[in-house]
Structure 1
Amino acid sequence: MQYISVLTGKVIHGKGLGRTVGMPTANLQPARGSEIPPQGVYASLVHIKDGVYIGVTNIGERPTVDNDSRFTIETNINSFDKDIYGETMTLTILYFLRPIKKMKSLKEVKEQVDKDMAKAIALISQEKISQ
C-alpha cells in the first residue's frame, strides 16, 4: 500500500467542538522533525494500541471554528469513541480527499466529514481488496 506520509505522536486535547455534533476527533501532536503533508483533508489509517482504524484527517487550519491560522492535525476515526488522550497514535496518510474549506456551521462540517469518511472507507477498502 502506497502512502503520502506517516505521522506519529501523542494524542492531545483540542477544543472538543467536534464531539458536540457527534464527530469526536483525535488531535495529534507529531514528533519533532515529522514531515507533514500540505494542508488538506486526507483518508488515513489510524494505528492505536487496540487496533487499526480508517480515519479522515484534517491537516492545517480550521477556518470554520478558528479565527486565526492555528495549524492542527486532527482525525475523525471511523466507529470509534474512546478516550485516548496521552496515547501514542500513528497516522498513515493515504489519499488526498479535498482542500480545506470554510463552512457555515459545525453541522455542515459534520455532513462533509461523513461524506469524506464514506469516500475514505471506499478507497481504503478497494486498496485492501486489490492487494
Structure 2
Amino acid sequence: MEVIKVHHPLVEAQVPEGPVVVAMGFFDGVHRGHQAVIARAKEEAVRRHVPLAVLTYDKLPGIVYQRYDEGVHYLTTIEKKLALLDKLGCDLVYLVDFTAKLGGLTPVEFVNQYLVKMHAVAVVAGFDHTYGPKDVATMQRLPEYAGGQFDVITVEKQESEKQKISSSRIRHLIDEGRVTTANEMLGYRYQTSGIVVHGLARGRTIGFPTANVAWNPLERIPAVGVYTVRFKVDGHWYGGMASVGYNVTFGQNKHKTIEVYLFDFHDNIYGEHVTVTWLKRLRGEVKFNGVEGLVAQLKQDQVDSMTILEDLAALPDIFD
C-alpha cells in the first residue's frame, strides 16, 4: 500500500496517473462502520478494474474548529490506522495534514482540488460523512458538487445492538471501561501501545510483579479498573491482567498508571515496546484496608482472567 502525505494544497505531481475509486473518512478506529465503507469501495474498485484510494487525515479535523481541554486521544494512531487500511486491501492512501486552510475550502473547492485532482471515478463514504461545513458539505449534496465528474456511493448506517457504530460512541465506551462492547463495535480487540518503565515495584513484594507501561499519550486508555488483557512483547503474546489506576491502597501514586501482571512470565523487559490488548473489565479500582485483602482479590482476578483467556471469542487480533 502506497502512502502519499499531503500538506494543502494537493500538488498534481503527487497524484499517480490513472483513475481510482476514493473512500473518504477520518476512520479513527477503522471500526465496523468504516470497514463497510472500505469494503463497498473495494467492491467498486474491483468492478471497475482500478485501484482503491483512501482520503483520510493526520489529525482530528475538530482540532481546527474547537478546543479539547482534556487533550486529543485516538482509538488508532496514524501508524495503526494505516496498518488496518492495508489489511483491508487499500492500494493507496492520501494522508492529508488537516489545517485551517484545508478546512476553509468550500464544498466545490474541495471536490475540484482533491477528488477531481485524484482522478476519482467514484467516491464512497458513510451517510454522515462531511468534507466541509456540516450544513452544506453532506453526502446528499455531493452529487450536486461533483457535477457528473464522478459517481457518488453512500454507505448507510451500521448498527450494533440497535446503536449506530461510530468512533465517538466507541471512545465513550473505552472511557467507561466497557471494552467488550467497544470490541464488538470495532470488529477486533482494542489495543494500546507503550514502553515498559520502572515503577514503585510494590507488586513484586506481594507476589504480583507487574510491568509498568508508559503509554502513548495520543492513545485512548480505558477507564480506571482491572482488566483481563493479552500482552505482546518481543514478538510474543502472553496472558495477563492489567490495573489502570492510582494505587489507592498504598496511597503512593498521584498519577494514573498501567500495571500489567503476566502469567507464567519472568523476563526482564524494561525498555521494551509492548502492546496491550484489552479483553474485559473485571472490576473498578478498590482501596483495600490491608495487603491481605488486596492479595486475595488479585488471586481471584487471576482465576477470572485465566478463564476468560481460555474462552476467547472469535474476534481477531487484527494487528497480529
Q: What TM-score results when the alignment is normalised by the length of structure 1?
A: 0.89
**Distance (Å, rounded) in 2 between the aligned partners of 1:111 and 1:50:** 32
- Equivalence for 2:299: 114
Contact 2:241 2:262 in 1 (8 A): yes
Question: Is the counterpart of residue 73 in structure 1 residue 258 in structure 2?
Answer: yes
1:56 equivalent in structure 2: 241
Partner of 1:124 in structure 2? 309
Q: Which of 232, 237, 240 in structure 2 is aligned with 1:47?
A: 232
Partner of 1:83: 268
Q: Which moved more, 1:3-12 or 1:14-23?
A: 3-12
SS of residue matched to 2:311: helix
Q: CA deviation at 1:124?
A: 1.7
By how many angstroms is 1:110 displaced?
Answer: 2.3
Q: Larger radius of gyration, structure 1 or 2?
A: 2
> Greater helix share, 1 or 2?
2
**What amino acid is the match of 2:284?**
P
Partner SS for 1:127: coil
CA contact (8 A) 2:195 2:274 kept: yes
- Report the CA distance between 1:80 and its aligned residue: 1.2
Supply the RMSD in Å over aligned alpha carbons. Answer: 2.2
Which residue in 1 is equivalent to 2:287? 102
Gaps in structure 1 of 5+ consecutive residues: none
Q: Which of 189, 193, 196 is matched with 1:8 structurally?
A: 193
Q: What percent identity do the matched residue pairs reach?
A: 29
Q: CA deviation at 1:84?
A: 0.5
The structure, 1 or 2, with the larger RCO (C-alpha pairs under 8 Å, 6+ apart) is 1
* Structure 1 position 28 matched with structure 2 position 28: no
Give the deviation of 1:69 after TM superposition.
3.4
8 A Cα contact 1:24 1:81, kept in partner: no
Higher strand share: 1
Name the amino acid aligned to 2:298: V
Flag the 1:68–1:19 CA change in 2: closer, same or farther, 3 A: closer
CA distance in 1, matches of 2:280, 2:289: 25
Question: How far apart are residue 5 of structure 1 and its match?
Answer: 3.1
Structure 2 unaligned regions, length at least 5 = 1-179
The alpha-carbon distance between structure 1 residues 22 and 41, as it changes in their structure 2 partners (threshold 3 A), is same
Q: Give the conservation status (yes or no) of the 8 Å contact 1:42–1:98.
A: yes
